[in-house]
Amino acid sequence: SVKLAGRDGVRQWAEEMDAQVSQRFELERDMRIGLEHSPEQFVLYYQPLIDLQTRQVRGVEALLRWQHPQRGLIGPDLFIPVAELTGLIVPLGRRALDGACRQLQQWQSEGLALEFVSVNLSPLQFSGEDLQCSVAETLANSGLAPEALVLEITESALMTDVQKSLDTLHVLKRMGVRLALDDFGTGYSSLSHLRSFPLDKLKIDRSFMQGVPESRGDSLLLASILELAAGLQLEVVAEGVETEAQLQFLYRHDCAMAQGFLLSRPLPVGQLQAWLAQDGDQ
Ligand code: C2E
Ligand code: MG
Ligand code: MG
Ligand code: MG
């Protein structure tokens, strides 16, 4: 009967909620244990960013992966939210920042022509008291030049407290690091605020790449975002480039850099080195 189906539905819903909640607690527990006893479970992959004029690699974005002892390789969309909720993102993010800076310093010392490494900062890291210290220490420990480090911050992290964000950005800027606005277009930034932030780069969210160039509407929208970014005098990176036609479109619209599966997926260190040796200098 309908009533029974309803009750079953509720039970099913309750079971799913239970499963989600226990998954979250299990991940949290495993993350604590992992960070404490085997932090090498947290691995950085690197995805190249290509200059659209020269088609050369300019830099890489560091993206976290978790080699979970039972579940296998887990992507950040699953564990970053848990890390953010529990505050574990602070030690985890610190580890990512450290690892990325050391890796680029090593690549540069081996003679690889990589200009920068991009590291994602979570909202909690960005608003944290020790951000300036972490960044300064990381740079000192790794020996990396500050201008070779790009910190990626999302719109929502910046817009929570505009005045405080402005102060933090200026502090980072004075240290010489570069600042990028990540996932542009998905948040709700006010354009006047955007103009006042001392940003260097703007990364257009990959959702704006969909339908380009086949759909006229999608293409017009992307073109106007690119024009807007040019007006803000920021270096523009297009995320999520999956086709040669999209790459051509971006090139014609004066986009500076592209990142996406067409060029390369995020790769572990060894594979990225092999990729750079093959494609990097064509
Ligand atoms: P993000 O910073 O916007 O990173 C770009 C994401 O887009 C990556 O997903 C990348 O694999 C994916 N991507 C790149 N090109 C393409 C493409 O052509 N097509 C499609 N469909 N996807 C593409 P990933 O590695 O799963 O990371 C997801 C998000 O997790 C990142 O988004 C970032 O917000 C967060 N994240 C990753 N590593 C860290 C970290 O170390 N710290 C923090 N706080 N967040 C991180
Ligand atoms: Mg990013
Ligand atoms: Mg992004
Ligand atoms: Mg994204």
| ipTM computed for the complex | 0.98
What is the average pLDDT across 172-193?
A: 90
Q: How far is the CA of 226 from the centre of ligand 1 (A)?
A: 21
Which tens digit of pLDDT belongs to each residue from 60-102? Answer: 999 999 999 999 999 999 999 999 999 999 999 999 999 999 9
What is the average pLDDT across 259-277?
A: 97
Distance CA 171, CA 198 (A): 10
Query: From its phi and psi, is residue 211 left (phi > 0), alpha (psi between -120 and 50) or beta?
Result: left
Which of the ligands is closest to the CA of residue 63? 1
Given a cut of 80, is residue 107 above it in pLDDT?
Answer: yes
Nearest CA to ligand 1 atom 41: 64
CA-based nearest residue to 193, from 232, 247, 147, 146: 232
**Residue 21 token pair:** 């909640």
Which tens digit of pLDDT belongs to each residue from 42-60? Answer: 999 999 999 999 999 999 9
Write down the pLDDT at residue 166.
96
Q: Give the CA dihedral 99, 100, 103, 104, nearest 10 degrees.
A: -150
| Residue 59 backbone phi and psi in degrees, to 5 | -160, -170
Given a cut of 80, is residue 182 above it in pLDDT?
Answer: yes
* Structural contact between residues 79 and 31, judged by C-beta atoms closer than 8 angstroms: yes
What is the average pLDDT across 144-168?
A: 95
Write down the pLDDT at residue 118.
98
Q: How far is the CA of 218 from the centre of ligand 4 (A)?
A: 18
Given a cut of 50, is residue 282 above it in pLDDT?
Answer: no
- Which residues are near ligand 1 (CB < 6 Å)? 47, 63-64, 75-77, 80, 89, 93, 96, 120-122, 152, 182-183, 206, 239-242, 259-261, 266
Write down the pLDDT at residue 164.
96
Distance CA 112, CA 105 (A): 10
Check whether the bond before 213 is cis (ω within 30° of 0): yes
Atom of ligand 1 nearest to the CA of 45: 25
Q: Give the CA dihedral 138, 266, 243, 55, nearest 10 degrees.
A: 50
Distance CA 84, CA 77 (A): 11
Residue 192 pLDDT level (bands cut at 50, 70, 90)? confident
Pocket test for ligand 1, best of 127, 135, 150, 239 (most atoms within 8 A of CB): 239
Nearest CA to ligand 1 atom 22: 240
**Residue 111 token pair:** 């003679």
Question: Facing residues of 72 across strands?
Answer: 68
Question: Facing residues of 117 across strands?
Answer: 60, 149
